[in-house]
């Protein structure tokens, strides 16, 4: 069991061997030179390792990253996140080169929802209106009516036609939280984020006892037992807004550990305490952490691995993503 006093030290990533400072500086400079040479934009999710966040043009949540991907003028999109995120960027930019540091960076939510299984469920009810969390394959997006992220799921569900039966896939925890927020009944797919399931009632109670006045901010991919203990439940980008706004000087963060670097940069005067996982130091997403600064340099130098999708998938998957972007843009 991890002692609560070790929690802040734990914010330094445990599965990562840091680069020596000279190598880090040199590699970061080479990446920025290469970026100018190939006219690329580097987009990085909040869960990426600090050295990748530090060379990115934009660091954000899934919603912010898709909005950036939709408006970029760059010729090459370098997506530092997991595969479904780079796929989304390709769907929005079929004519551009989209690369990612490690093509094997998957997601447990994506794996939980294969498109033939989703199609079989959809075929059981012609009145289903499928709202799909962005954490899924391009094939699943192509079967969806509208896409959502954790940052806009409540808004997307509120905008859904009232006479349709909502099928919400693939994250049942996010879906359950959205049902509580909107009062809208939905059929939930039984998928989950393995990294957020590592937070438990017991692990959060332990950190609450250690830091009794610090508010707890949790991602909606956490279970209900964890969400019930949280003072704020929101997407990673909204966590930044909450932490800037709150008068609290110390905040407990129940999400993937990469978030701590972003928060420390945005709010340098505050303390961030990573919520502990129950039995292990595993509040890291193994998929997000497959990307390294070296792999980022290599993919930019080789313009590979690239995301390639069939024109028919791109055409069908684009519509529900565009619908999400349009609904999100309405004030
Ligand atoms: P957001 O980017 O919407 O905060 O979600 C976090 C996540 O789990 C991405 O894989
Ligand atoms: Fe998927 Fe969870 Fe990793 Fe996000 S943190 S990519 S939802 S496994």
- Which are the contacts of 166, defined by CB distance < 8 A and separation ≥ 6? 128, 129, 130, 131, 157, 160, 184, 185, 186, 187
Nearest residue CA, atom 8 of ligand 2? 107
Does residue 62 have its Cβ closer than 6 Å to ligand 1? yes
Task: Express as a percent the part of the chain with pLDDT over 90.
Answer: 92
Does residue 149 have its Cβ closer than 6 Å to ligand 1? yes
Kindly indicate the confidence band of residue 189, based on its pLDDT and cuts at 50, 70 and 90.
Answer: very high
Query: Probe ligand 2: pick from 62, 136, 149, 196, max atoms within 8 Å of CB?
Result: 196
Query: Probe ligand 2: pick from 193, 199, 257, 284, max atoms within 8 Å of CB?
Result: 193
What angle (nearest 5°) sits at the alpha carbon of residue 239, between those of residues 234 and 241? 115
Model confidence at 300: pLDDT above 60 = yes
For residue 281, what pLDDT is reported? Answer: 60
Does residue 151 have its Cβ closer than 6 Å to ligand 1? yes
- Which are the contacts of 172, defined by CB distance < 8 A and separation ≥ 6? 188, 189, 190, 191, 192
d(CA 194, CA 283): 9
Nearest residue CA, atom 1 of ligand 2? 107
Asked if 10 contacts 273 with a C-beta cutoff of 8 angstroms, the reply is: no
Model confidence at 2: pLDDT above 60 = no
Mean pLDDT value across residues 57-77: 95
At 266-284, the pLDDT tens digits run: 999 999 999 998 776 668 9
Least confident of 19-23, 72-76, 149-153, 317-321: 19-23
Phi, psi values for residue 237, rounded to 5°: -70, -40
At 215-257, the pLDDT tens digits run: 999 999 999 999 999 999 999 999 999 999 999 999 999 999 9
Mean pLDDT value across residues 98-114: 97
Cα of 109 from ligand 2 centre, angstroms: 7
- Which are the contacts of 113, defined by CB distance < 8 A and separation ≥ 6? 136, 137, 140, 169, 170, 189, 191
Cα of 207 from ligand 1 centre, angstroms: 23
Model confidence at 8: pLDDT above 70 = no
**Average pLDDT over the chain, rounded to whole?**
94
Model confidence at 13: pLDDT above 60 = no
| pTM of the model as a whole | 0.94
Query: Probe ligand 1: pick from 58, 62, 197, max atoms within 8 Å of CB?
Result: 62
User: Token digits for 211?
Assistant: 């830091």
Mean pLDDT value across residues 127-139: 98
Task: Go through the domains of the chain in sequence order and give each one's CATH number.
Answer: 4-106+287-302 (3.40.50.10800), 109-193+311-329 (3.40.50.10800), 196-274 (3.40.50.10800)
Nearest residue CA, atom 7 of ligand 2? 193
Three-state DSSP class for residue 239 = helix
For residue 10, what pLDDT is reported? Answer: 46
Nearest bound ligand to the CA of residue 283: 2
């Amino acid at each position: 069991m991890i002692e609560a006093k070790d929690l802040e030290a734990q914010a330094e990533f445990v599965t990562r061997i840091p680069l020596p400072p000279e190598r880090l500086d040199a590699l970061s400079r080479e990446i920025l030179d290469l970026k100018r040479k190939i006219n690329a934009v580097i987009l990085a999710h909040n869960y990426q390792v600090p050295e990748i966040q530090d060379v990115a043009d934009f660091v954000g949540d899934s919603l912010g990253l898709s909005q950036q991907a939709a408006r970029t003028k760059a010729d090459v999109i370098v997506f530092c996140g997991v595969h479904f995120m780079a796929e989304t960027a390709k769907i929005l930019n079929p004519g551009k080169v989209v690369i990612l540091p490690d093509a094997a960076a998957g997601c447990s939510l994506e794996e939980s929802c294969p498109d033939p299984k989703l199609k079989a469920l959809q075929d059981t009810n012609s009145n289903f209106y499928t709202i799909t969390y962005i954490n899924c394959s391009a094939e699943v997006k192509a079967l969806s009516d509208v896409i959502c992220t954790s940052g806009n799921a409540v808004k997307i569900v509120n905008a859904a036609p009232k006479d349709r039966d909502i099928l919400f896939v693939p994250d049942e925890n996010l879906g359950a939280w959205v049902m509580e927020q909107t009062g809208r009944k939905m059929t939930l797919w039984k998928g989950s984020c393995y990294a957020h399931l590592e937070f438990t009632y017991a692990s959060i109670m332990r950190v609450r006892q250690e830091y009794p006045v610090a508010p707890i901010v949790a991602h909606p991919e956490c279970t209900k037992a964890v969400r019930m203990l949280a003072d704020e439940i929101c997407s990673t980008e909204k966590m930044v807004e909450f932490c800037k706004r709150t008068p609290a000087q110390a905040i407990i963060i129940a999400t993937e550990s990469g978030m701590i670097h972003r928060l420390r940069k945005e709010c340098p005067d505050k303390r961030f305490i990573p919520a502990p996982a129950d039995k292990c130091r595993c509040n890291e997403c193994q998929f997000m952490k497959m990307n390294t600064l070296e792999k980022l340099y290599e993919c930019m130098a080789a313009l590979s691995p690239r995301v390639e999708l069939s024109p028919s998938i791109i055409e069908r998957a684009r519509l529900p993503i565009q619908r999400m972007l349009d609904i999100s843009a309405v004030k």
